[in-house]
Chain A
Amino acid sequence: METREREFLEYVQAGGLVETDDWMPDEYRARLIKFVEMHGNSELMGVLPERDWILRAPTLQRKLALTAKIQDEVGHCQLIYRVVEDLGKPRSACLDDLISGKSKFHNVFHYPTKSWGDVGVIAWLVDAAAIISQKALLKCSYAPYARVMKKVCWEESFHILHGRDTVLAMVTGTREQFELVQEALHRWWEPLMHFHGTRLPADEDPMVIWRIKSQANEDARQQFLDGYVPQILELGLEIPDPKLRKNDDGVWEYTEPDWDKLTAVVTGHGPASQERLAFRRLSRAEVDWVSQVVLAEAA
């Protein structure tokens, strides 16, 4: 590593912050763009599993809350893509790479949603998993992204509450409603366990080394289990992992997730991956003329 790069590395490892026009090593810039872009992609793709349920919401309150939640996610995509743009990659290029399958988005958004039970489970638990990662990103060495995370975390605080409230209404409702939640939890447990990624140790994770991430994957997962397993169990719901338990050292043990499956999903082989990308491709093509007329540089 060259001197300037090494000094930069020491600087960020000591807690130093970086702004848009500061010099940064090529590797840092490249990794940063890829990471932030994937986050933006995920916010946008995250809309697709949920948006149909706005139309089917069973009360006006739920309709409003779900619309607002999804609106936030689109807004987060906007904020995050702006960060990528200021680093040098235009939004239209991000969208092109997303819909061509060249760039990735988070595993959880490759799965179908089947019922209103999914709506509750996603808003509660998927958002909870996401907030843990996002809070860790508040310490990102790249300051513009950290600042966006602050707004994102603040806006997301109601998502979990809305999700939990939706679940609570169902688990205290009819037997069928309880089963909707239980069934959804069964399907979403594996994606949730995959969410924070493999057990890559912090000192081997380039994202942590460059202080883009400040938390190792396994720490995030443990935090999720610690916070949410008790909340799930206290509702009388079952978690589909007989090995899941907190050991005497306070560490959660669980059935090792299938990490090959995670790779396959994220590279576009999830149950709903291709369908979602096709949907995005189509909808972008149909409104492309508007961007030409209104907003030449952004799409």
Chain B
Amino acid sequence: MTERAQLLIELADDELILGWRNSEWTGIAPFLEEDVAFSSIAQNEIGHARALYELAARELGGDADGLAFDRRPHEYRCAPLVQLRLVPDWARTIARHVLYETADALRIGRLTSHGDAELAGVAAKIDREEVYHRLHAEMWHERLRDEPRYLEAVEELWPQALGVVPPELRPALAERVGRAEVEAVERDAPGEEFAALWDEMTMVRRSAPVGAQW
């Protein structure tokens, strides 16, 4: 796999799995207005994953759905942060949301000036949509900034957040979040929790032969 394809898969897997985790809140968010707002964020993330998989598919073959759903669990490249099951803990969910959006802003922002025009183009579109994710994260951060549960959650998830971005972006992330850089939880082959997620995510798809229409 080329470096470009690896990068695309990493980004796409992050967005797919985070979107999947965020859609676990559908219908059970703290209040109705927020349920609708958070659902849009989850949908956007799936949409970003789709666009990134489509680019990757041009290099790797197949299509976006194939890349999203037909790989074995150990072939996914998502960051530990996005794999965590956080429902029904809203404080940790928002902590992840704030940390992820900050990290993503850095890496996507960097990609918008990438030499590869296709990659830069998709990154720019994602960046523009994520302006609203950042506003949403910011407004929740303001509301929960004195809430002990939230502060504990940010503390707890910080090492994983650092693992979302490559090492050279971590000092910038630390500065933006206002925390000291610590040892990051690096990307690795996904474990048990992911295997359970993958099982549920692919159970319908696997019930028909590969290539079946849905």
Q: Footprint of B on A, CB under 8 Å?
A: 44, 47-48, 51, 53-64, 67-68, 70-71, 74-75, 77-78, 81, 91, 115-116, 166, 169-170, 172-174, 176-177, 280, 282-283, 286-287, 289-291, 293-295, 298-299
Give the one of A44, A172, A286 with max B CB within 10 A. Answer: A286
Once the chains bind, are A51 and B20 in contact (CB under 8 Å)? no
Once the chains bind, are A283 and B200 in contact (CB under 8 Å)? no
Q: If the complex has contacts A58-B214, A294-B143, are A283 and B88 also in contact, measured as CB distance less than 8 A?
A: yes
CB distance from A104 to the nearest CB of B (A): 19
Once the chains bind, are A78 and B43 in contact (CB under 8 Å)? no
CB distance from A106 to the nearest CB of B (A): 16
Once the chains bind, are A56 and B200 in contact (CB under 8 Å)? yes
Of residues 1 to 53 in B, which have CB atoms within 8 Å of A's CB atoms?
A: 20, 23-24, 26-33, 35-36, 39-40, 42-43, 46-47, 49-50, 53
Once the chains bind, are A67 and B47 in contact (CB under 8 Å)? no
Q: Which one of B61-69, B98-106, B129-137, B177-185 contacts A?
A: B61-69
A212 to B149, CA, bound (A): 46
A291 to B144, CA, bound (A): 12
Once the chains bind, are A55 and B68 in contact (CB under 8 Å)? no
Once the chains bind, are B36 and A78 in contact (CB under 8 Å)? yes
Once the chains bind, are A283 and B28 in contact (CB under 8 Å)? yes
Known: A55-B20, A71-B36, A298-B33. 4 other contacts (CB 8 A): A67-B42, A70-B27, A286-B88, A293-B144
Once the chains bind, are B204 and A56 in contact (CB under 8 Å)? yes
Q: B residues within 8 A CB of A62?
A: 214
Once the chains bind, are A74 and B32 in contact (CB under 8 Å)? yes
Say if the beta carbon of B189 comes within 8 Å of chain A: no
Once the chains bind, are B32 and A78 in contact (CB under 8 Å)? yes
A91 to B32, CA, bound (A): 10
Once the chains bind, are B23 and A287 in contact (CB under 8 Å)? no
Q: A residues within 8 A CB of B47?
A: 64
Q: B residues within 8 A CB of A295?
A: 31
Once the chains bind, are A58 and B27 in contact (CB under 8 Å)? no
Q: B residues within 8 A CB of A283?
A: 28, 88
Once the chains bind, are B31 and A60 in contact (CB under 8 Å)? no
Q: State which of A75, A77, A174 has its C-beta within 8 Å of the C-beta of B208.
A: A174
CB distance from A40 to the nearest CB of B (A): 10
A291 to B205, CA, bound (A): 38
Once the chains bind, are A55 and B201 in contact (CB under 8 Å)? yes
Q: Which residue of A lies closest to B26 (CB)?
A: A51
A53 to B205, CA, bound (A): 12
Q: State which of A51, A170, A290 has its C-beta within 8 Å of the C-beta of B27.
A: A51
Once the chains bind, are A59 and B24 in contact (CB under 8 Å)? no
Q: State which of A56, A58, A64 has its C-beta within 8 Å of the C-beta of B46.
A: A64
Once the chains bind, are A64 and B24 in contact (CB under 8 Å)? no
Of residues 80 to 128 in B, which have CB atoms within 8 Å of A's CB atoms?
A: 88-90
Ordered by A's residue number, 22 sampled pairs between the chains whose C-beta atoms are within 8 Å are: A44-B27, A48-B27, A51-B26, A53-B204, A54-B23, A56-B203, A59-B214, A60-B53, A61-B65, A64-B47, A71-B36, A74-B27, A74-B39, A78-B33, A91-B32, A174-B208, A174-B209, A282-B88, A287-B29, A290-B30, A290-B31, A291-B30
